[in-house]
Amino acid sequence: MSRIKITDTSLRDGHQSLWATRMATEDMLPILENLDDVGYHSMEVWGGATFDVCIRYLNEDPWERLRSIRKQVKKTKLQMLLRGQSLVGYSHYPDDIVYRFVEKSAENGIDIIRVFDALNDIRNLEVPLKAIKATGKHAQACVVYTISPVHTMDHFVETALRLREMGADSICIKDMAGLLSPYKAYDLVTELKKNLDVPIQLHTHYIGGMAIAALLKAVEAGVDIIDTASVPMAFGSSQPPVETIVRALQDSDRDSGLELHKLFDIATHFEEIRKHKGFERGVTRINDMKVFEHQVPGGMISNLLSQLEEQKALHRVDEVMAEIPYVRADLGYPPLVTPTSQIIAIQAVLNVLMGGRYKLCPGEVKDYVRGLYGKPPVSISDEIRHKIIGDEEIITVRPADLLEPGWEKAKQEVAEWAESDEDVLTYVLFPQVALKYFGWRKSKGLEDASLINKGEYLTVDMYQPENAAVNRLAGPKRNIHRRDEEMNFEEIKELILLLDKSSLAELEMQSDEFRLSLRKSVSNTRVTVTGDNDLPISSPAPTAVNEPENIVEVTAPMVGTFYAAPSPDAQPFVKVGDKVTAGQTLCIVEAMKLMNEIKAEVSGLITDAPILNGEPVEYGQILFVIEKE
Ligand code: CO
């Protein structure tokens, strides 16, 4: 028997599963050479949530991360995870975008692209596989593993065979929720090896504790490659630790040949990062082990907990977990993996928070029911379908067949901001977040330049969220802050007056020490200054006092980000002075990475709309005031 090959997931799935993908590139760079020297089959370093988190939370360019990793990893193949036609996002993209994205991923340094479709709907993998083959890189296609009445051994083997026919260079069993029992792993690998002529890889999650045994049984059955992570990023909802697997196999004919002392050096580096940044260890709690009941995948559990915490509803986690299997059955037993895991989870959260099933359904849930993500493993009943999308028809074609080409349009839309084709792709994937990031990048550049060149002044930029354009102040540069002085409140006041007089809606400045953000709203101008201590200095949101009975306040049903329009370049859904009818969409609140349309419950006149586009909202915060007809 040949040596087992190992893929290291530390820089993608490992920290995605345990640290909410928050490891920064600077934490990775010092250890890349060591990782490269281990003799791994490949290193999974990109895709999945890394792309989104880079621009949303880390102010990093994900493409730049990939290039810096590639620069230092010279021997080991770099691997990424692609969500089929959804790429690294959450909805399907047009075929031309898929081709471009894959081409650019290869160009920036990826050798192996692992691709899956959440529903195992292989129609959704046709174009991604063609795109990968066109680059000449290795195309690994996934069979997504889950347990349900329809996910039989025949289904998995049949899916794998068809993916092989479509050009897959290897097949990965993707057990994202750690559901694969050791003996099932043995049988599944045996069947796949019997039927296929390409390497088989096993990707599993530790969560309930079966993964080490599952890997060993899979190795026994002849699996070619397995996924593990460095121990500070192993266990819990992540992969099993490489150290344990390497040692366990040393006494077998499948010895990996990897050296433990090299692995421990790497683990020591990651452990220091973990301690320094306060990241969690992978542990398994009773709740985690209930994965055997609810099947929620690793990454999703930590997300769900932090989202519930944000919604101040952490105490309802058991109810949400109990609701998940019902929603999953109602929606045709999709495997729980991005994006279906989010779709099922948010619907379960909403069913619990709203005190009834399907009272509020996010756009993504509706799209799923419409068939826009592909075909659910089991057809959704008429009753459930009607509750969620009414009398609308469902589609039966490959979802991306309905999409217009997107590249040229996006390129034009973001022309002012994009510095490369990679930027255009970032924009296509996450339009709102990308514009924020590009704005930050631009202002950072200006600020850095002025600080470095002149040594003492910061530059202030005017930022209009409505059309996402940054306009430099007309006339001479307005320098407002000497670097060595404390923030002067008279100066802030002056800025507020300036903003009030201008036609602009928002003003932001950022320095090493603090971030100043001024936003104009209908009723007041809000100021936040955050520094090292994140101290807000003034103006909380307005609170309502004894509103008359015909006044209805529309409040945020969840913590999230407020969007006034369906897309950055579109008109707002409504504005002050508009008449609305019950059921009309007022805005979108993005929460748990999903867009939730908020609708008017009564007809009437919009008299206030205090929240600005792109602004974060708290649970219960007033979004609109409607004067009932
Ligand atoms: Co995974």
CB-based contacts of 187: which residues, under 8 Å, 6+ apart?
153, 221
Distance between Cα 346 and ligand 1 center (Å): 20
Q: How much is the pLDDT for 479?
A: 35
Distance between Cα 118 and ligand 1 center (Å): 12
Per the listing, tokens 């419950």 go with 601
Q: How much is the pLDDT for 340?
A: 87
Distance between Cα 13 and ligand 1 center (Å): 5
Per residue in 96-153, pLDDT tens? 999 999 999 999 999 999 999 999 999 999 999 999 999 999 999 999 999 999 999 9
Cα Rg of the chain (Å, integer): 25
Of 559, 604, 612, 567, the closest CA to residue 584 belongs to 604
468-484 CB burial, b ≥16 within 10 A, e <16? bebeeeeeeebebbeee
Q: How much is the pLDDT for 140?
A: 98
Give pLDDT < 50 ranges for the chain: 447-489, 503, 512-513, 521-545
The 3-class SS string of 103-167 reads HHHHHCCCCEEEECCCCCCHHHHHHHHHHHHHHCCEEEEEEECCCCCCCCHHHHHHHHHHHHHCC
Distance between Cα 176 and ligand 1 center (Å): 5
Q: How much is the pLDDT for 40?
A: 98
Distance between Cα 207 and ligand 1 center (Å): 11
Distance between Cα 123 and ligand 1 center (Å): 22
Of 597, 594, 519, the closest CA to residue 554 belongs to 597
CATH code of the region 286-402: 1.10.472.90
CATH 1.10.472.90 in the chain, residues?
286-402
For the domain made up of 551-628, the CATH class stated in words is mainly beta
Which residues on neighbouring strands pair with residue 226, listed in sequence order?
A: 6, 202
Q: How much is the pLDDT for 592?
A: 67
Distance between Cα 204 and ligand 1 center (Å): 6
Distance between Cα 212 and ligand 1 center (Å): 15
- Kindly list the distances between the CA atom of residue 205 and the CA atoms of 91, 145, 264, 307, in Å, as whole numbers in the listed order: 24, 12, 21, 21
Q: How much is the pLDDT for 109?
A: 98
Q: How much is the pLDDT for 542?
A: 38
Q: Nearest 5 degrees, angle CA 229-CA 234-CA 226?
A: 40
CATH 2.40.50.100 in the chain, residues?
551-628
Token couple for 560: 């999230």
